A = this chain, B = another copy of it.
């Protein structure tokens, strides 16, 4: 089996997929920004993707994926995230170094290839940044209990579940703070002056976290034993 679309086409579909989730529709400008291209280039490609029936596109309105377009987009995202797991788990890359390579690897391999990679990696459900990995049908279960760390409240215990920004400098900053996915913390204090926090980790070691960091960190609250609000059976 060959690649569904060209590398460029797959990148467009991926961008449209993500923008559609955020804004309901992908505007020309937003696509252009995400792909570091000019709006003129985007218009041209949107025409081509419309021809291929991978998007529905109305001039001046924006683009939405068709079923086939969505399938290609999610399969590309699946490959991207599986390769990132491979690079971290098997090749020992740091989590801030894998995106650039995954951006190339995601365009290689068919469904059979991807399923073998998936099996080899033990069918992981999230990538090294906490993002969910779609299954071969393009479906995945998001964790609804995850929310941005800037919405935490005092005394709350929580687990770090992901990042909403995968930029290298942010990830390296988290390394410096010894903040890793899966690690447990408790909110000690919040400082309205600058929006910063004091948390303490499972060893009782305190850290200071800026508003910028908390705003891009995804966490899941740990229900307290006595507190029983919003508990799922």
Contact = CB atoms under 8 A, between A and B. Distances in A.
Interface of A: 90-93, 101, 104-105, 108-109, 113, 116-117, 120
Given A91-B117, A104-B108, 12 more contacts: A90-B120, A91-B113, A91-B116, A91-B120, A92-B116, A93-B116, A101-B108, A101-B109, A101-B113, A105-B105, A105-B108, A108-B108
A195 to B, nearest CB: 38
Nearest to A104: B108
Contacts of A92: 116
Contacts of A116: 91-93
Contacts of A104: 108
Contacts of A108: 101, 104-105, 108
A60 B163 CA distance: 58
Contacts of A113: 91, 101
A117 B93 CA distance: 11
Contacts of A109: 101
A117 B113 CA distance: 18
A-B pairs, top 7 by smallest CB distance, nearest first, are A91-B116, A104-B108, A90-B120, A91-B120, A105-B108, A91-B117, A101-B109
Contacts of A90: 120
Nearest to A92: B116
Nearest to A3: B104
A213 B6 CA distance: 38
Nearest to A110: B101
Contacts of A93: 116
12 contacts: A90-B120, A91-B116, A91-B117, A91-B120, A92-B116, A93-B116, A101-B108, A101-B109, A101-B113, A104-B108, A105-B105, A108-B108
